Amino acid sequence: MDSPILQVKNLTKIYGQNVIFQDISLDVNRGETIVIIGPSGTGKSTLLRCINLLTPANSGQIFLNGQEITTPEANEDRVRQQIGMVFQNFLLFNHLTALDNVMVGLTKVKKMPKARAREKALYELNRVGLSDRADHYPGQLSGGQQQRVGIARALAMDPSVMLFDEPTSALDPELIGEVLGVMETLAREHMTMLVVTHEMGFAREVANRIVFMEKGSIVEQGKPDDLFYRPQHERTREFLWKITELYGNKEEKHE
């Protein structure tokens, strides 16, 4: 097997007196879809932000394609081009059309000629099923459509890894399916993905591995079936039981 595309080693994040997470180590293999689950306030989202250097970690190391990105010499703007990020509240650029949202990274960051960038952006929009919305502004799109543009914007940079920070938490239930559908397709195309979500249906069906985090540490990780049916820790069992009861019925609907 290849060496991991993304390696997190003993990562710790502290805000003031609060330990957000401590000593997290995680290897992500090429083409793997990892779903991170766990109670709120466990540091899952902060972990994603640290991986993409939006928030500096206090200690530990992160390697992307074998290169350490947590050294002071690493060019963080360049690193972020290789790590796509999808946000809970979409964060589309409100003054740009869907097409320009996807294009702007290509023209302004990658300095791609306009015609080529446009072609690439249209391809990515088509990938998320929104080529007919290219000229719409974010304010004219539904939440689900906005999030799919958000995914296209990240994909356009051809990242090695995609990070999803609760991509469906801000969506109305009937719009969740369209976003999960796009993510499922990406997983099947072997995009490397790290997904923080409460969508247990997605975790069970799509993930290669589920990581259960609680109180700033990884409690347990493994194949979905192992975690769901043969958890090693009582806490994992409790959490999965609770969350499946809470969200389970809803998920059946959009599968």
Partner 1 sequence: MSDVPEFFLRFWPQLLQGAGITLLLTVQGLAAGLVLGLLSALARVYGNKFWRGLAVGYVELFRGTPLLVQLFLIYYGLPGLGITLSREWSAFLALGLNSGAYQAEYLRGSILAIGEGQMMAGRAIGMSKWRAIWEIVLPQALRLAIPAWANEPVSLLKSTAIVFLIAVPELMAVGKTIAARTYNPIGAYVTVALVYLAVVYLLDAFLKWAEARVKIPGFEAEGRKA
Residue closer to partner 1, measured from CB, 22 or 107: 107
Q: What are phi and psi of 138, to 5 degrees?
A: -50, -40
**Among 85, 112, 213, 227, which residue interacts with partner 1 (rule: CB under 8 A)?**
85
Burial 80-91 (b: 16+ CB within 10 A, else e): bbbbbbbbbebe
Nearer to partner 1, 166 or 220 (CB): 166
Q: How far is the CB of 148 from partner 1 (least distance, A)?
A: 15
Q: Supply the minimum distance, in Å, between the C-beta of residue 246 and partner 1.
A: 27
According to the binding rule CB under 8 A, does residue 44 interact with partner 1?
no
CB of 157: closest distance to partner 1 in angstroms? 6
Yes or no: say if 167 and 119 are a contact pair by the CB < 8 Å rule: no
For the packed helices 173-188 and 143-155, what is the interaxial angle rounded to 10 degrees? 20
Q: Could you say which residues in the range 147-206 bind partner 1, by CB under 8 A? A: 153-154, 157
| Listed ranges 22-30, 65-73, 132-140, 169-177: which one lies at the site for partner 1 (CB under 8 A) | 132-140
95 binds partner 1 (CB under 8 A): yes
Q: Tell me which of 38, 43, 60, 138 binds partner 1, using CB under 8 A.
A: 138
Q: Is 109 among the residues that bind partner 1 (CB under 8 A)?
A: yes
DSSP structure string for 196-234:
E---HHHHHHH-SEEEEEETTEEEEEE-HHHHHHS-SSH
- Cα–Cα dist 198/243, whole Å: 8
Tell whether residue 137 is a contact of partner 1 (CB under 8 A). Answer: yes
How far apart, in whole angstroms, are the C-alpha atoms of residue 157 and residue 148? 15
Distance (Å, whole) CA 247 – CA 255: 13
105, 177, 201, 216: which one binds partner 1 (CB under 8 A)? 105
> Greatest CA span in the chain, whole angstroms?
56
Alpha helices in the chain (DSSP H): 44-51, 76-81, 98-104, 114-127, 143-155, 173-188, 200-206, 224-229, 234-254
Per CB under 8 A, does 223 bind partner 1?
no
- For position 78 contacting partner 1 by CB under 8 A, the verdict is yes
CA 12 to chain centre: 20
Minimum separation from the CB atom of position 174 to partner 1 (A): 21
Say how many residues touch partner 1, by CB under 8 A. 27
List of residues contacting partner 1 (CB under 8 A): 52, 54, 77-78, 80-81, 84-85, 87, 89, 91-95, 104-105, 108-110, 137-140, 153-154, 157
